């Protein structure tokens, strides 16, 4: 296929997965609106339909709760075959949604949409829309500060593996062991009905996911109660880095919009994170790693999220050198960067969800961070491999870093969007 064919194919996927104001990741497996998926999808739409790009994010924030929380799934339409559906979550909200959140990348994507609108001479048209979104984004970031950072370190403590967006990363294995799964009961998953089970989380992992949903539901989705007593509390290196970057982007918007009071507040949030995120550095592994808040132990796993430190705008010569050394080592072991788990880890699996495959959205963020930090060769490797995976194999959810085989759903919205955004 030519580049033009791929460009058109990507646009066709977004159009096919468009449900009117929001886009589903993949109609067969994921029939609703997902939080961070939509943020990336907006970048794709922005390359050929700017109003539709803004509508994608605006629709997501129509589901924002009064306390600033933004759910990870919005069930705009019924789909009885999906599990766990709205009845399982039972959040009793309108619109119907899940009770957990997802990586806070929306502010960073809106910042790009806003810069593109200004560059196109459309600032006056989009300023009212960015003003409203700014307030909604700040409310969400405050929610993270108030309900996902119980020790005030400036990190994001996930209360569910699904919140991280990296559902079955091995980082969650040890913290998940104490979760009581005795009352989960019987259920039928949608994902393994459409996709090869060897690509997906195991039944044990899924049992733990559902037990945590049951716990949240028992607390009536009171996030203050959940943050106190939840049996799973992990400071996720990925979400922490993404939120730090998102707050930097939100600060740029605040200054651009003349929101001086809010800018001062965001600067304080950033300073707290810059000071506290050091807690996630594993000196033994010489890498950024997630940390279990309950046990206090670092995961010790080097994942693709570990490299988001560059995207977060952190700069430390010693730590940067260590991460670049890992980058070179990993890059020599795989054909395509960036695997979601260190290929030298004994648990590496090249096509099992977040235990090996390459994800275009993570590559986009890591590559952007490397480029901004001046590491041009590494950024070029990420870009080249991302485009090559899509060009050779299509718009899959993820890809094997070993041979490029597509993993997960095909005709995937955010992969199509990243192709267009990198074009």
From first to last of the 423 residues of the chain, give the pLDDT tens digit.
Answer: 899 999 999 999 999 999 999 999 998 889 999 999 999 999 999 999 999 999 999 999 999 999 999 999 999 998 888 889 999 999 999 999 999 999 999 999 999 999 999 999 999 999 999 999 999 999 999 999 999 999 999 999 999 999 999 999 999 999 999 999 999 998 887 676 666 767 778 899 999 999 999 999 999 999 999 999 999 999 999 999 999 999 999 999 999 999 999 999 999 999 999 999 999 999 999 999 999 999 999 999 999 999 999 999 999 999 999 999 999 999 999 999 999 999 999 999 999 999 999 999 999 999 999 999 999 999 999 999 999 999 999 999 999 999 999 999 999 999 999 999 999
How far apart are the C-alpha atoms of 372 and 249, rounded to whole Å? 14
Tell me, yes or no, if 177 is annotated catalytic: no
Tell me, what's the pLDDT at 194? 61
What secondary structure does DSSP assign to 149-167, as a single string?
-TT-SS--EESSGGGGS-T
CA nearest neighbour of 385 among 369, 356, 364, 371: 364
How far apart are the C-alpha atoms of 136 and 61, rounded to whole Å? 7
Catalytic hit among 207, 342, 397, 411: 397
Catalytic hit among 115, 167, 274, 410: 167
Tell me, yes or no, if 397 is annotated catalytic: yes
Give every strand in the sheet of 291-292, ordered side by side. 157-158, 234-235, 291-292
pTM for the predicted model, two decimal places: 0.97
How far apart are the C-alpha atoms of 189 and 88, rounded to whole Å? 13
Residue with tokens 């949030």: 269
Beta strands in 102-214 (DSSP E): 157-158
First to last CA, the chain: 15
Cis peptide before 142 (omega within 30 of 0): no
Tell me, what's the pLDDT at 192? 67
Q: At what angle do helices 3-16 and 413-422 cross, to 10 degrees?
A: 140
Domains, the chain, with CATH or none: 3-422 (1.50.10.10)
- Dihedral of alpha carbons 181, 186, 190, 195, sign: positive
- Spatial neighbors of 318 by CB under 8 A, at least 6 apart, are none
C-alpha separations of 417 from 77, 86, 335, 423 in Å: 23, 27, 23, 10
| CA 102 to the chain's CA centroid | 6
| CA 34 to the chain's CA centroid | 10
How far apart are the C-alpha atoms of 199 and 408, rounded to whole Å? 7
């Amino acid at each position: 296929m030519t580049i033009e064919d791929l460009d058109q194919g990507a646009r066709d996927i977004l159009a096919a997965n468009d449900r009117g104001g929001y886009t589903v990741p993949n109609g067969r497996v994921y029939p609703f609106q997902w939080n961070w998926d939509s943020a990336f999808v907006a970048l794709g739409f922005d390359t050929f339909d700017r109003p539709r790009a803004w509508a994608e994010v605006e629709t997501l924030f129509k589901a924002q709760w009064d306390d600033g929380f933004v759910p990870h799934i919005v069930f705009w339409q019924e789909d009885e075959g999906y599990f766990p559906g709205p009845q399982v979550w039972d959040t009793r909200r309108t619109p119907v949604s899940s009770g957990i959140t997802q990586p806070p990348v929306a502010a960073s994507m809106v910042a790009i949409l806003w810069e593109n609108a200004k560059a196109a001479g459309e600032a006056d048209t989009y300023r009212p829309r960015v003003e409203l979104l700014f307030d909604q984004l700040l409310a969400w970031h405050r929610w993270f500060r108030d309900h996902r950072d119980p020790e005030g370190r400036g990190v994001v403590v996930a209360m569910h593996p699904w919140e991280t967006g990296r559902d079955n990363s091995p980082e969650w294995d040890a913290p998940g062991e104490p979760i009581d799964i005795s009352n989960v009961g019987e259920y039928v998953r949608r994902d393994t009905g459409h996709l090869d089970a060897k690509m997906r989380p195991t039944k044990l992992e899924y049992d733990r996911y559902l037990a945590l949903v049951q716990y949240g539901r028992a607390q009536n989705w009171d996030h203050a109660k959940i943050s106190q007593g939840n049996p799973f509390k992990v400071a996720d290196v990925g979400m922490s880095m993404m939120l730090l970057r998102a707050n930097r982007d939100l600060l740029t918007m605040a200054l651009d919009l003349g929101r001086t009071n809010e800018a001062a507040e965001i600067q304080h949030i950033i300073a707290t994170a810059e000071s506290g995120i050091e807690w996630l550095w594993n000196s033994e592994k010489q890498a950024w790693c997630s940390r279990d808040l309950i046990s206090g132990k670092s995961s010790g796993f080097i994942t693709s999220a570990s490299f988001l430190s560059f995207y977060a705008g952190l700069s430390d010569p010693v730590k940067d050198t260590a991460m670049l050394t890992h980058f070179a080592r990993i890059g020599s072991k795989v054909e395509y960067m960036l695997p979601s788990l260190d290929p030298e880890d004994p648990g590496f699996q090249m096509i099992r969800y977040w235990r090996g495959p390459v994800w275009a959205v993570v590559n986009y963020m890591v590559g952007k961070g490397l480029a901004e930090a001046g590491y041009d060769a590494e950024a070029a490797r990420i870009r080249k491999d991302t485009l090559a995976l899509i060009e050779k194999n299509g718009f899959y959810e993820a890809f094997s870093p070993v041979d490029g085989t597509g993993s997960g759903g095909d005709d995937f919205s955010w992969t199509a969007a990243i192709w267009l955004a990198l074009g």
